[in-house]
Structure 1
Amino acid sequence: MPAHDLGPTDPAVTVPEITASVPTGPPPAWAVLQRRLFDELDGAWRTFRDRYTEPDGRLRFRGTIDDRDGADDFYEAFFNWPALYRLGGADDLLPAVKLHWEAVTRQLTELGLFHHEFERGYDWFHQGEALLMFYGICAADPADQRFRERAIRFAEQYLPQSPTGNYAPRIKAIRAPHNGSDGPRPGLGPQWDDRFGGEQSTMRPYGLPLHDVPGVAEWNDLADEELAVRMGHHMRDRLGRGDTAVNLAVTALVVNAWLYDHDPRLASWVREYVDAWRERSHAAGAMPDNVGLSGTVGEYHDGRWFGGHYGWTWPHGVHSVGAAALVGAISAGIVEGDADRLDLARRPLDQVWEQRRTGLPSDPEATRRPGWAHTLGPGDGPPVNTLPTRLGLDGWFDHQPAQVAYWTWLWWFGMRQEDRARLEALRDHSGYDWTVVHAFRDKEEAGHEPPWLAYLDGVNPDYPEQALRMALAQVAHRTALMAADEKGADGKRTHETGADDGLDLHKWQRLNPVVTEVLTQLTTGAPQTLYNGGLPLARVRYDDLDAARPGLPPDVAALVEHLDANGTTVELVNLGSSRTRRLRLLAGGFGEHLITTVHWNAAGGAYPGDSRDHHLPAGDEVARSAPVQDNTIHLTLPPGRRIRIRLDMRLNARQFAHHTSPTTSRRP
């Protein structure tokens, strides 16, 4: 483990402060659009709140839930609202988000899905999705002791000494795919354990959960009641016990608690659990997805390293295994302060890359086609490179275009040249143009990594403006959908899920008008958070010094123009004409980077000049630089000024930590 500098900045230390002096001139379009997006989002989230939540903050829901599924859908309606606040959303957004989290948690407890404010027991593909809202609140307001206590209590459920019994220290494994506050829950729930019939149409596109159940060779065989019961019992006994790769997402829950006070017990568990999966991966020569209760890979699958619940075979393959491996590897990297465990995340991506082939984006057999087809644009298009996403008894199958976000995160977190080479190979063999910005939004609110990466490489200069225009259109579209939902065709109100729309728990996600992907990319220099349980990381983030809260101050727009292993370039603009804005720039989403030197351009002449001159001043700029040796600088932006700064950095040189917003400014 590398030696770290001290964590949070010592209040007695003088923080470098730089004043922007270069006139903005005609404001750049990206800056105007960015501030407009903040304004539109401020109205949009209020509209959603007013139409789809009760006065106490819970979602309007009049149904019942008879199985283990569904809790994640309630939280996913708000998954990126804390992120918007942390970026610079409205002051009252944070208390609103906390109100919704607490009310929804009570609601889910009443529905029987939660106990002690936590999921009673479900898979971590879905629990990771649900926890994005919670992680965002903790990052946005680490000073809130209620959420700090919750974060620690939730994490301790997975430590070896926990009475829940979720973790088996002898075999270094979580005891069941469904786990939580009730401990390891056997099976997959009554909707699948008792029988898995062919009428479960929502799962039909993914095919059979197990490919070796006697008598069941194809989906239509499940119409036979005896075979449906047989499949359900096999799922209960084989998919419903032991550890599975998606449980690696638990590591983010534990790291979120560790970020408060760096409890060594939490760090030790993350290292132990991640390293156990790394050792299994090394021994198998592949990323396994299942571990039996004896600690043996393939124990319930005739020795095969694939076939576990939410694993390589069913239902999502690399989409679930790759995401969990990334969350686990990054979580270990956070507590260790390095990227040495990224091999865990490389292996599943390399496995599918080695099986790549040329295919057509119109392939009707691809299970995730509704998502990625929008990424490539409408129509059949030219042949594109595809990768297999799943593995069964007959080999690799379900070929689809690569999920670029996973390779992006692999490179972004470690900034290793070998991972950059992987990303470039993916681009070169993709078969489509990485500079094109396609107008789409899925529930993960991601997928625009290719044009953003091209922008960072300097070959897609129009991306900020195009992406922000797209984001504004997304807000307008979601707002229009909410307006259309005001009354159904028969004039009845349809705000309550479970009333007129048949328990459509995904409706809230489809109507959530908050968009943060583009703002996250442009202002913080990070990809959109990994949807299945990632923590909110950033290359840089900001605090409003005058308001003593996180996020960009009003009138201020930010654009990360370039990042590499040695630093970051960012431009900031104050679009206002009367107010000076002061902000703190923190290197890293959790203050983990060390700024060694800051470089910027200052105005070379006097501004605003002589009123008798009718031309806008366009004077020379003078290069400046100053040593820093801290993770923080303060910036003052007078009205109508801009500044472009290059931050020389040592990445991950400081300990990751939750950082509270400064209550007062410290001037040199």
Structure 2
Amino acid sequence: MMRITAAVPLREVPRWALLERELLAVLDQAWRRFAERFCEPDGRLRYAGRMYGRDGVDDFYEPFFNWPALYRLGGADDLLGAAKHHWEGVTRQLTELGFVRDEYEVGYDWFHQGESLPLFLGICAADPDDAAFRARARRFADFYLPGSSTGNYDASTRTIVAPHTGSGGPRWGVGEDWEEYRADQAGMEIYGLPLRDLPDLREWDDLRAPGAAARMGRAMQERMGRGDTAVNLAATTLATNAWLYAQEARYADWALEYIDAWRERAAANDGVLPDNVAPDGTVGGLHGGAWYGGHYGWTWPHGLHSIASAAIVAALNSVALTGELDRLDFVRGLLDAVLARGAVQDRIASRGSLGPGWADRLEADEETTELLVPYRYGPDGWFDYHPMPLEPVLWLDWISHSAEDSARLERIRAASGSDWNAVRWFHDKEEQGHEAPWIEFLAGRNPGYPEAALELALGQVLRRLGLIDEAPDEPEDGDIHFWQRLNPVVTEILTQLVTGAPPALYYGGLSHARILVADGRRGRPGLPADVAALVRAATSAQVAVELVNLGPDEQTVILTSGAFGEDRIDAATYAVAVPGYPGDPRDYAIPHAPSRSERVAVGSARLVVVMPPRTRISLDLAITRRAYGAHHQSFAGSIKENA
């Protein structure tokens, strides 16, 4: 590995660097406080209540979902062990409750399974040398491969055979909760009818007729509880994660076969990804030929929100597996379909099922305008209009940097009536939502973003700590969302600033990066002690990153290009100090540290940067993306190699 040394001393201490280190310090206290208040000694969550229906596995893993991500960014040395401890404790807890078998979900939909996975995926990425988690990764992926004893996959139709699957195989139906779909079920009226083609069931109040709720429930179980559904695309993450260990072809072969099957279905549907496939392999076979109506599909309940997430997760998986961008087409198709029907409108809060949340996120009043697009489709066409979600659009541009994908993002920006530079103070469970001001920062239009965003992140943590102080030690019976509302770990802003990437897609996405930072002396991922990092720009062929060592000790930083070492650093340009600092002691003025620019060839995925005490270095890295095969990154042995 090429090795360079930072030689420019600190003259001014960047405020963003101080805030970054302060955030890491506060987070180290915060996760310990959460574990102390809400967890048993064996790592499980403190809970004496019952479980209801099939739901709940995700809610027990979600409170810890981003703890490994924090470790990979520079969290405490013992945070990785804590994350493993809680994963194992919660897994035992859920096994005792009958919801987990062979350490994996018995059977549920992939919208929720995707929410269960970030903790596990983060551990795998943070410590690929852990043999136990490597074995789990392979075993979990095997549940979905052709020939598995679970029977989750039918190779003849290239389908996952049911919306609810897992270690127990297909679990028919959509769960006991929906044996009836009643008009008095709290919170469901806003989403409307799951199926909109049943005789005499066209409006919400029609459910109040004698027998109507049971009739809708039976139809849901029979038509939405069998066959494949588009959100199952997120299952390809299990295979991709297993492949990243040793590039076993069978994992890539299955994931790409399954993705290509859905691509073909989208191509046959004017580019729009359908949401259902019958057991015989036909789109619409359970829905009178309609391409919509599947479980967590276009009609019910969230439409674009869940469909686009699963599609972009699968598309990013395909890029990791192949290094090629050709499988992004089916994501572009569905995004362009809704954009073609978009219109700039006001009254965001009252337009549809997710309106109030969008209004809160955008701080929108009745006159605020945004480009609203339809999220759902039914027998009467497109409906349920909301602001275009930035996450899938941004991911396409981030992975490809193509003119087509950049133009799509710019179209949304140009139509927006809100301030894209504003860093709004909110916190959702997905650790998303602050894409716009970060996009503006990378484009050079929002220079104050790092400081404003880090202040927000500190505010997010402090609020959660305040909520923890006021909360009981465990939730009431059935309140299994209690803990995720109190998780004090925040990683969205750190991920953006340190790695140059959005945070992993919440519903089953792998973590990606333009730059991974690792501690060469301790042989682990994440920022070394007292070191801060900031990715200032990232294009298809360049990454600009600044490193600052605020401490009294020399540190060794390993920069890896790409989350999986898939990119090549061709060359590095940086400033080399020349004589002139600190200057003549008889002068009153404190001089700038003079320097000259130097460019060195690298030709590797990794670059070692030695950071003497209280130095900073700005690196302009020339990058070739996807030059190498992707694999999980280990930093064990770095102490010996880079001491």
Quick one: distance in 1 between partners of 2:582 and 2:115? 51
Residues 644 and 361 (structure 1), Cα distance of their counterparts in 2 relative to 1, 3 Å cut: farther
Q: Which residue of the other structure, out of 353, 361, 367, is the alignment partner of 2:339?
A: 353
Provide Cα deviations, 1:322-368, integer angstroms capped at 9, x if missing partner: 01110111111111011110002111111110110122244324222
Quick one: distance in 2 between partners of 1:526 and 1:352? 25
Quick one: distance in 2 between partners of 1:27 and 1:333? 39
Quick one: distance in 1 between partners of 2:595 and 2:320? 39
Q: Which residue of the other structure, out of 579, 582, 591, is the alignment partner of 1:605?
A: 579
SS at match of 1:341: helix
1:465-476 correspondence to structure 2 within 5 Å:
465-476=451-462
Deviation at 1:305, TM superposition (A): 0.8
Q: Which residue of the other structure, out of 146, 171, 185, is the alignment partner of 1:160?
A: 146
Provide Cα deviations, 1:471-512, integer angstroms capped at 9, x if missing partner: 111111111111122xxxxxxxx22123xxx42222211111
Q: Aligned pairs, how many?
A: 641
Contact 2:348–2:368 (CA under 8 A) maintained in structure 1: no
Quick one: distance in 2 between partners of 1:575 and 1:42? 18
Does structure 1 residue 545 correspond to structure 2 residue 520? yes
SS at match of 2:641: coil
Contact 2:292–2:377 (CA under 8 A) maintained in structure 1: yes
Q: Which residue of the other structure, out of 205, 215, 218, is the alignment partner of 1:220?
A: 205
Contact 2:580–2:594 (CA under 8 A) maintained in structure 1: no
Look up the match of 1:640: 614
Q: Which residue of the other structure, out of 619, 622, 627, is the alignment partner of 2:593?
A: 619
1:482-501 correspondence to structure 2 within 5 Å:
482-485=468-471, 494-498=472-476
Look up the match of 2:101: 115
Deviation at 1:370, TM superposition (A): 3.6
Look up the match of 1:460: 446
Quick one: distance in 2 between partners of 1:268 and 1:361? 47
The gaps in structure 2 that reach 5 residues or longer are none
Quick one: distance in 2 between partners of 1:243 and 1:147? 29
Quick one: distance in 2 between partners of 1:133 and 1:395? 38
Residues 307 and 560 (structure 1), Cα distance of their counterparts in 2 relative to 1, 3 Å cut: same
Quick one: distance in 2 between partners of 1:607 and 1:162? 67
Contact 1:25–1:640 (CA under 8 A) maintained in structure 2: no
Deviation at 1:424, TM superposition (A): 0.7
Contact 2:520–2:642 (CA under 8 A) maintained in structure 1: no
SS at match of 1:217: coil
Quick one: distance in 2 between partners of 1:336 and 1:454? 30
Contact 2:581–2:594 (CA under 8 A) maintained in structure 1: no
Deviates more, 1:518-527 or 1:53-62: 53-62
Quick one: distance in 2 between partners of 1:381 and 1:551? 44
Deviation at 1:124, TM superposition (A): 0.4
SS at match of 2:454: helix
Look up the match of 1:488: none
The gaps in structure 1 that reach 5 residues or longer are 1-14, 486-493
Look up the match of 2:267: 282
Deviation at 1:91, TM superposition (A): 0.6
Quick one: distance in 2 between partners of 1:662 and 1:411? 33
Deviation at 1:606, TM superposition (A): 4.7
Quick one: distance in 2 between partners of 1:200 and 1:246? 24
Q: Which amino acid aligns with 1:605?
A: P
Q: Which amino acid aligns with 1:98?
A: K
Q: TM-score, normalised by structure 1?
A: 0.94
SS at match of 1:389: strand
1:566-605 correspondence to structure 2 within 5 Å:
566-576=541-551, 578-605=552-579
Does structure 1 residue 255 correspond to structure 2 residue 230? no
Residues 380 and 605 (structure 1), Cα distance of their counterparts in 2 relative to 1, 3 Å cut: farther
Look up the match of 2:377: 391
Does structure 1 residue 656 correspond to structure 2 residue 626? no
Q: Which amino acid aligns with 1:158?
A: Y
Deviation at 1:225, TM superposition (A): 4.6
Deviation at 1:610, TM superposition (A): 4.9
SS at match of 1:48: helix
1:423-462 correspondence to structure 2 within 5 Å:
423-462=409-448
Q: TM-score, normalised by structure 2?
A: 0.98
Contact 1:555–1:575 (CA under 8 A) maintained in structure 2: yes
Quick one: distance in 2 between partners of 1:322 and 1:361? 24
Contact 1:590–1:657 (CA under 8 A) maintained in structure 2: yes
SS at match of 1:313: coil
Contact 1:602–1:622 (CA under 8 A) maintained in structure 2: yes
Look up the match of 1:4: none
Provide Cα deviations, 1:21-60, integer angstroms capped at 9, x if missing partner: 1122121111111110000101111111111111111111
Q: Among the aligned pairs, what percent are the same residue?
A: 50
